[in-house]
Amino acid sequence: MKSMKSMSCSLVFVSLPAVIILLLMVPVQARAEVSLPPVIGSNMVIQSGEPVTLWGWADNGEKVLLKLGGVVVGSAVGEGKEKSWKIQIPAQKPGPLPPIEVSGSNTLTLTNALAGEVWLCSGQSNMVKTLKKGAWCPYGGVLNEDQEVAAATDNQIRFYVNGKGWELCTPENAPHFSAVGYYFAQKLRSVLKEPVGMIVLAAGGRPAEWFTPERMMAGDADFEAKKVKAKALRDELGAKWEADKKADKEWRQLVVTAKSKGEQVPPRPANQLSAEQSKNLGENAAILDFAFIYNRDIRPVVPFPIKGFVWYQGESNATRGEEYAALMGKLIQGWREDWGKPLPFVMVALAGFGKPEAMSADAKSFPLIREAAMKVSGTVDHVGVISAVDVGDAGNIHPLDKKPVGERAALWALNHVYGEKVVSEGPGFGKVDFATGKAVVPLTSNKEGVVLKSPGGFELAGKDRKFYPAKEELKDGSIEVSSPEVSKPVALRYAFLNFPECSLYNGAGIPALPFRTDDWPLVPATLQRVSTQP
């Protein structure tokens, strides 16, 4: 028996380390905590009046509960980090929400959330442009910015700022809010008296191609051919292009330093590539990096319910204006597919900039981009265009006067989305009659209180296709336009220049959008316009 006890003790002594070793050899699977996307968080605004889908991630098989004010409103089962769970919150009335609790292996509690009207703002730098200039936006700032920021005290307005989450409208946060988005929200609040949430997903200097889902180009042989050609050019010249950009950036920094010290500005370094080669490579980026911003910023917030979109972009597509309408049609269709409904889409007609010419020497044409927006509005349901043309700055592509832009976009939404009885568009032009040696233009809509604030903006051309400044006169609900240089006009344009004169407004103070009767191709520089305004 003694020997058996010794053997037993010996066996126990030997087997214990073996068990530990075996346990150590088994891989430990760490449980992932229940998580939410950045757009779902405390201080958020969810769309009122409709069920709202919240989503996130949890371990495969993990049960997720969602409580609203302590009451379970839904549950789901996690499917790992590659596939999100989804739970709906029932439709909520505008106003404060009770705490939202999401629990699984851990618990997340969201507080100070509201139900209200949610809009997504996107586009490039003029949508990014903030209420105040600072390190967050070197080209930021608006008219009377200090007063505007100090007055930003409405905590019923919330902004989702990429990388920061949801922020309340306070003088501390407002300096880095999109100015157009802020004035849009402020106007909605003043009329609807409901909370407003703005999701701002914009990126400066980016072409519309980068915001468009690439699936929208499936089967487009021309697009595929452009990709092949663009890749070949980048392979050939891309290294030199990047070197030129780096050298130019370093030179600009040296210039700033030299000026701050009162020293002589260093000479600009010579580029390895010609201006034409650099332009081509820049445009190729629109193709090679197609959908970059969409994949990075837009797609991750789907399906967060929103009321609609506000879009301010086009400067980076100004050398490809003829393609812009088709491209925007695809962008709008793709975004609406993502959200599963034909959400309203408000487009901003670009602010005036540069010289009074239809196309600049480097082939940039803001008129073609504005015209493309109007074509989209005329062919795609629930798309509107509002004007920023008259609040531009010839020398600043980021003009300071952003309040009219945001407010006009809000007026369009109030009228067309919320059914408010407000004037939301400028005077509309009817069919032009050239029979009398003049252009007679009937005003067909939004013409109450119409005025010509200043002479200028209208141009006439004969069969030679040379445009001359013309004189205009209001008569019996129409505008008569004439020019001594054009005895037999065949074409009329209004505000169809990069930086035009805008003279025609209605009683609500909203300007007419640019307009032309011809479809003639534009050419660079001043060939379309042969004299100055009288």
Q: Are residues 235 and 181 in the same domain?
A: no
The DSSP bridge partners found for residue 71 are: 68
Residue 362's contacts (CB-CB under 8 Å, 6 or more residues apart) are 279, 319, 524
| Residues 220-277: tens digit of each pLDDT | 999 999 999 999 999 999 899 899 989 999 999 998 899 889 999 899 999 999 988 8
* Digit-coded pLDDT (tens) for 350-409: 999 999 999 999 899 999 999 999 999 999 999 999 999 999 999 999 999 999 999 999
Full domain range(s) for residue 474: 428-516
Residue 37 domain flag: no
Is position 24 within any domain?
no
Interval 146-165 mean pLDDT: 96
Q: Which two three-digit tokens encode residue 427? A: 């005077």
358 CB-near residues (< 8 Å, 6+ apart)? 365, 367, 496, 497, 498, 522, 528, 529
Residue 18 has pLDDT above 80, yes or no: no
* In a domain? residue 21: no
| Mean model confidence pLDDT for the chain | 92
Return the pLDDT at 162: 87
The pLDDT score that the predictor gives to residue 490 is 98
Token pair belonging to 466: 């040379």
Structure-model confidence comparison of residues 19 and 373, the more confident one: 373
Query: Does residue 147 register a pLDDT over 80?
Result: yes
Is 229 contained in some domain? yes
Nearest to 328 by CA among 362, 366, 379, 259: 379
pLDDT over 90, % of the chain: 85
Tell me which of 477 and 160 has the higher pLDDT.
Answer: 160
Q: What is the pLDDT of residue 268?
A: 92
Strand order in the sheet with 100-103: 71-77, 63-68, 100-103, 107-110
Q: Where would I find the H helices in 87-139?
A: 125-128
Burial zone of 109 (CB within 10 Å; 0-12 exposed, 13-18 middle, 19+ buried): exposed
Q: Which of 401, 424, 447 is the last residue of a domain?
A: 424
Q: How far apart are CA 281 and CA 271, in angstroms?
A: 14
Going by DSSP bridges, is the β-strand pair 471-475/95-96 parallel, antiparallel, or unpaired? unpaired
* Same domain (yes/no): 203, 232: no
The answer on 475 and 459 residing in a single domain is: yes
Q: Which of 80, 110, 140 is the last residue of a domain?
A: 110
Q: How far apart are CA 480 and CA 244, in angstroms?
A: 52
User: Do 399 and 458 belong together in one domain?
Assistant: no
Q: Do residue 106 and residue 188 come from a single domain?
A: no
| pLDDT band of 201, cuts 50, 70, 90 | very high
Checking if the pLDDT of 526 tops 60, the result is no
Q: How many domains does the chain have?
A: 4
At 510, give phi and psi (nearest 5°). -105, 130
pLDDT in tens, 44-96: 999 999 999 999 999 999 999 999 999 999 999 999 999 999 999 999 999 99
Position 8 pLDDT exceeds 80:
no
- Going by their DSSP bridges, the two strands 100-103 and 95-96 should be labelled as unpaired
Comparison of pLDDT for 430 and 29, the residue scoring more: 430
pLDDT of residue 475: 92
| pLDDT greater than 70 at residue 533 | no
pLDDT at 84: 96
Same domain, yes or no: 187 and 274: no
Q: Which helix (H) or strand (E) holds 494?
A: strand 491-494
Q: Which candidate, 398, 31, 353, places its Cα nearest to that of 179?
A: 398
Regarding whether 342 and 205 lie in a shared domain, the answer is: yes
Same domain flag for 58 and 122: no
Which is more confident, 400 or 161?
A: 400
CATH number at 374 reads 3.40.50.1110
Collapsed DSSP state (helix, strand, coil) of residue 125? helix
pLDDT score recorded for residue 525 = 63
Going by pLDDT thresholds of 50, 70 and 90, the confidence category of residue 31 is low
pLDDT at 303 over 70: yes
**Residue-wise pLDDT tens digits, 493-503:** 999 999 999 99
Q: Check residue 276 and give its pLDDT.
A: 85
- Res. 19 pLDDT band, cuts 50 70 90: very low
Picking from 424, 455, 477, the residue at the C-terminal end of a domain is 424
pLDDT tops 50 at residue 4: no
Residues 434 and 401 in one domain: no
Same domain, 502 and 359: no
Give the C-alpha separation, 370 to 368, whole Å. Answer: 5
> Does the residue 417 lie in any domain?
yes
Which conformational region is residue 43 in: left (phi greater than 0), alpha (psi within -120 to 50 degrees), or beta?
Answer: left
Coil, helix or strand for 267? coil
One domain for residues 495 and 385: no
Same domain flag for 402 and 439: no
Position 75 in a domain: yes
Q: Residue 106 falls within a domain, yes or no?
A: yes
**Is 345 within a domain?**
yes
How long is the chain?
Answer: 534
Give residue 465's pLDDT: 95
Contacts 24+ apart (CB under 8 A), 433-440: 434/488, 434/489, 434/490, 434/492, 437/482, 437/487, 437/488, 437/489, 438/480, 438/481, 438/482, 438/489, 439/470, 439/480, 439/481, 439/482, 439/489, 439/492, 439/517, 440/478, 440/479, 440/480, 440/481
User: What residue type is assigned to position 517 of the chain?
Assistant: T
pTM of structure: 0.89
Residue range 7-14: mean pLDDT, rounded:
37
Give strand pairing partners of 515.
494
